[in-house]
Structure 1
Amino acid sequence: MKNLISVEESIIKAVEELNETKVIRLASKALNAGMDPLFLLDLIKEGVKRVGKLYEDQKYFIADLIMAGLIFKEVLELEKMKLKFQRKSNEILGRVIVGTVKGDLHDIGKEIFEGLMKANGFEAIDLGVDVSKEVFTKSVIKYKPDIVALSGVLTSTIDSMKEIVDALVEAGVRNDVKIILGGSHLTKEACDYIGADFYTNDASEGVRLCKQMLGKI
C-alpha cells in the first residue's frame, strides 16, 4: 500500500476526531488494499485510546466516548471484517463471561476479544460496560462459565477488577473459574494484586491464553 504510514496515522487521527465518515472510508480502502483486519483494529483502538485520554483530560465528554464505540462497531460491520470473525467450527470449546468493569465505558477491546473468542469456538456472554461486582458475581453463579474476562482501559479499573475478584472469592465461586484481564495498562504486578490468573494487552493473545487455560492447545 502506498504511503502506508500516512494511511495508518490518518485512520488513527480520524477516530480521534470522531470523523465517522472518514474512518469508514479509510478503513474500507485499507482492507481492500490488503491490510490485515486485526492490524486495522489496532489502529482503531489507538484512536479510541486517544479519545479516552481526551476524556480523562476533560476535553471530551461521555457522548464522545460513546461515539467512538459506535464508529468501532461500524468498522466491525465491514464485509472483510466480518469474514475475520466468522466461527470456524461448530465445536464449543468453553463458555466465557465478558464485561468492562465498573467505572469504565470503553468496549472496543472487549468487543474485539469477544468476537475472536466466538470465531475460535467459545460461547461468549457479554455483560456490557460499567459492570458492577454484583452483576459479575450473579452471572458467574447463573451461567457457570469456564472463564471470566474483565476488561478495562482506564488505570482506575485496577481497583474495580480487584473488587470483582474479591466478590467472587466471598461468594465461594472464585475457584470454579479462570480469570483473565484485558487492558493496555495492565502488568504482571497488577494481575497479581487483583488476583487473576492471566492478563493480556492483546485480544489475539487473550484467545490463546483462554485455550491454554482450558487445555485446548
Structure 2
Amino acid sequence: MKDELLKKLSACVEFGKTNKAALYPPQMKGEDGADEITSQLLDVGVGAQEILTEGLMPGMEKVGIKFRENKIFVPQVLMSAKAMGMSMVHLKPFFTSGAAKQKGTFIIGTVQGDLHDIGKNLVAMMVEGSGYKVIDLGTDCLAEKYIAAIKENPGAAVGLSALLTTTMVNMEQITKDIKAVFPETLVTIGGAPVNDDFCLKIGADNYSADPQGVVDFLNTKIA
C-alpha cells in the first residue's frame, strides 16, 4: 500500500494534480491528489523524509527533465509546483521540528533592479522539491539582503537570477560582495541574458540554463 501511494504521489507532482476537487489534469479527474495522498501516507506511518525522497523528489525530477527537453512548458510546471506545495504543507512541520532533514539550504533572489520572478520561482520550486530548504528573497535584491540571509543560514548556497541585460551586470558586484564576506559560499547564476562565459567573468561558481541544472549542481556540491 505504501509503495502504491508513493507512486501515486509522484504522479500527482509530475502531472500537477493538487487535490481531489481539482479538474486538472483531465486524465486524473476525480482521483485523490497530492493533498489527500500525503495525508494517507502520514496516516499509515510513512515518515516525512521518505515521502519527500520517494514521492515528491522522483516526480519533481521528471518535471525538471521534461521542462529541459521542452516536453512541458511553464504552465504545467507551475501546476506541478502547486501539487508539491499541497504536499509540503503537511510535511513542513516535520522539517522545522528537526524530525526530518533536508539536504541543505538554498537562498535565491532576483538581483537588484530586476522585478522578474517566474524563472526564480521555477528554480525555487524545483530545488525545494528536490529536498532542499529554500529561502526566497524575492526580487530587486541588493547584496546586503543575500549576505544577511547567509549569516542566518551558514553553509547555504546562493542563486542569483536576472532577466534583463541591464540588470545582469549587477550580478558581478553582488557575487564579489558575497565572496568578500563568505568566500566559501557557492553562487549559481541563471536567466535569459547570462551564460558560462559571463559566469566565469564575474567569479560565480555555476551557470545553469534551466532549473534542473541548478538541482544537479547542488546535488554535486552539497548533498
TM-score when normalising by structure 1: 0.61
Alignment root-mean-square deviation, CA: 3.1
**Contact between 2:77 and 2:122, CA under 8 Å: does it hold in 1?**
no
Residue 174 of structure 1 deviates from its aligned partner by 2.4
Matched residues in 1 for 2:168 and 2:67: separation?
27
How many percent identity over aligned positions?
26
Unmatched 5+ stretches in structure 2? 1-22, 29-61
Residue 212 of structure 1 deviates from its aligned partner by 0.9
Residue 152 of structure 1 deviates from its aligned partner by 1.0
Which residue pairs with 1:32 in the alignment?
26
Deviations 1:77-110 (A, max 9, x none): x4x5533565699431000111000011111111
**Contact between 1:158 and 1:194, CA under 8 Å: does it hold in 2?**
no
Q: How many residues align?
A: 155
Letter in 1 for 2:128: K
Classify the secondary structure of the residue corresponding to 2:199: helix
Say yes or no: does 1:160 pair with 2:170.
yes
Classify the secondary structure of the residue corresponding to 1:83: helix
Alignment of 1:170-185 (within 5 A): 170=180, 172-175=181-184, 177-185=185-193
* Greater than 6 Å deviation, 4+ residue runs: 40-43
Counterpart among 198, 204, 207 of residue 206 in structure 2: 198
**Contact between 2:112 and 2:141, CA under 8 Å: does it hold in 1?**
yes
Say yes or no: does 1:147 pair with 2:157.
yes
Counterpart among 95, 119, 131 of residue 141 in structure 2: 131
Which residue pairs with 1:113 in the alignment?
123
Classify the secondary structure of the residue corresponding to 1:174: coil
Deviations 1:17-70 (A, max 9, x none): xxxxxxxxxxx77x4369x8666797765xxxxxxxxxxxxxxxxxxxxxxxxx
Counterpart among 203, 212, 215 of residue 220 in structure 2: 212
TM-score when normalising by structure 2: 0.59
